[in-house]
Amino acid sequence: MSVLVEQIGAVVGKQGLLTGADAKPWSTDWRKRYFGEALAVVRPSSTEEVSKVVRLCAQSGTAIVPQGGNTGLCGGATPDASGSQIVLSLSRMNRVRAIDTLNNTLTVEAGCVLTSVQQAAEAAGRLFPLSLAAEGTAQIGGNLSTNAGGTAVLRYGNTRELTLGLEVVLANGDVWDGLRGLRKDNTGYDMKHLFIGAEGSLGIITAAVMKLFPWPKARVTAIAALNDPQTALELLGYAQERLGSRLTGFELFSDLCLALVLKHYPASVPPLPSRYPQYVLIEISDLESEEGARASLEGMLAGALESGLILDAAVSQSLAQFKAMWALRDNVSEAQAHEGPNIKHDVTVPISRMAEFITVTDEALAKAFPGMRNVTFGHLGDGNLHYNVSPPEGVPHADFVRRTEEVNRVVHDSVARFNGSISAEHGLGQYKREEITRYKSPVEMQMMRAVKKALDPHGLMNPGKVL
């Protein structure tokens, strides 16, 4: 055992240190696309321990790879293969430090699983609205580090907009205590925004003050069928006019998405008697009553049906139906994974151009890769599309995945033409680290490198990721 590992062990104890075979599970990403080897996995139990570990690593010039629930899709939390990097897992730092219901804030440590944060807020009669498919495993520190979006951005914003304050251990081991639950603080640079979305490349988030909201008395969903994404955009505008701020989620998914879910989750039930080209899942939440919320949603859908915007619709009548509708949407990514390897894209374009983007990019891919299948779904209400590509029927998945760079070029060039972003909520990690240099200006890349140099001059914070 190296001197550094022995020193770290003295800080975190036996429970906080894993080496050899015990460290293997932390050295592979969730999709099994990136494989590394860690010198050790360190699991501190407090900010003080994180600070001491980082200081030891800084003194020895040892790189640190922060890791949350390891649910990322871009290899952002995987060490390299050198066996020289420390994986720093925040999983033991999983306490809710405080809940202030008058200030509508919750102070939570970075290792708290997202579901636990939601449950803590609910127990206090409040809502923490960040919600995503991996919420039972993802940790709030990882959500902060990737600026996670999820299904409620339309109403509540992404993780950045839900964050009021941070506690961060810097690259030299210093602790920045920015845990302030203030909505207004105009005293210079708002430093927390540097660390949100930085994927641990500037420092290690150890705790955060997050916004809470009144607990809704009603949450109702509907699935509506329509012909194409352009009609879905028209329905979005129609729904916003009639439902206002009660509109919480607006998710688009194709019939191919539904087919994959029904195939790989046999207990799933089709939402409507017939099948249609496209579907949207709509959620509204209300502080008044469930009856009022359901009546509003049904009224909006009746008008949309009469005007020809939608072809059919079903509204949830119980909690079980509510969950079943969301499962059809939430299980799309897992269902596609069960089908076989695929090429994922997490992109965003202006909402108004989403349908045009899908049409143009579908045509470009069909020309370049005849027979490929687009598993297209995402958060239409905020312009974020998961534009995933599966191989043609009969083509070995491994052969198709080897063409990832070619497929990415078609998709990402199209995103750029529509003035969009090649990463909406999953980050860059190592997967898109080089790709981003094609689409960000030299000036913007230089600004990012200057920030990195200022906060991590020796490049020890998650090297090889983002930049």
**Is the separation of the CB atoms in 380 and 232 below 8 Å?**
yes
CATH of the domain at 229: 3.30.70.2190
Question: How far apart, in whole angstroms, are the C-alpha atoms of residue 142 and residue 159?
Answer: 10
One domain for residues 260 and 316: yes
| 222 shares its domain with 323 | yes
Dihedral of the CA atoms 72, 74, 76, 81 (nearest 10)?
120
pLDDT band at 359 (very low <50, low <70, confident <90, very high): very high
Asked if residue 115 and residue 207 are part of one domain, the reply reads yes
224, part of any domain: yes
Q: Does 100 share its domain with 208?
A: yes
pLDDT of residue 1 exceeding 80, the answer is: no
Considering the domain boundaries, does residue 462 fall inside one? no
* Domain annotation covers residue 361: yes
Burial class for 410, CB neighbours closer than 10 Å (0-12, 13-18, 19+) = middle
Give the residue, 355 or 31, on which the prediction is more confident. Answer: 355
- As given in the structure block, the two tokens for residue 267 are 């207990």
Q: What is the pTM of this model?
A: 0.92
Please write the tens of the pLDDT for every residue from 392-436: 888 888 888 889 999 999 999 999 999 999 999 989 999 899 999
Domain termination site, one of 59, 89, 119: 89
* 209 shares its domain with 104: yes
**Residue 454 domain flag:** no
* Of the candidates 298, 310, 152, the residue with the CA atom closest to the CA atom of residue 224: 310
Is 80 exceeded by the pLDDT of residue 8? yes
Q: What is the pLDDT of residue 446?
A: 97
Q: Which CATH number goes with the domain that contains 47?
A: 3.30.43.10
226 in the same domain as 204: no
- Confirm if 166 and 172 have CB atoms less than 8 A apart: no
Residue 105 lies in a domain: yes
Give backbone dihedrals phi and psi of 281, rounded to 5 degrees, phi first.
-100, 125
Segments forming the whole domain that contains residue 404: 340-428+435-442
CATH number, domain of 365, equals 3.30.70.2740
Tell me the CATH number at 141: 3.30.465.10
CA–CA gap between residue 16 and residue 49 (Å, rounded): 10
448 located within any domain: no
Measured CA to CA, the distance from residue 459 to residue 350 in angstroms comes to: 34
Q: Which helix (H) or strand (E) holds 107?
A: strand 105-109
- Choose one of 184, 214, 244: the last residue of a domain: 214
How many domains is the chain partitioned into structurally?
4
Residues 180 and 243 in one domain: no
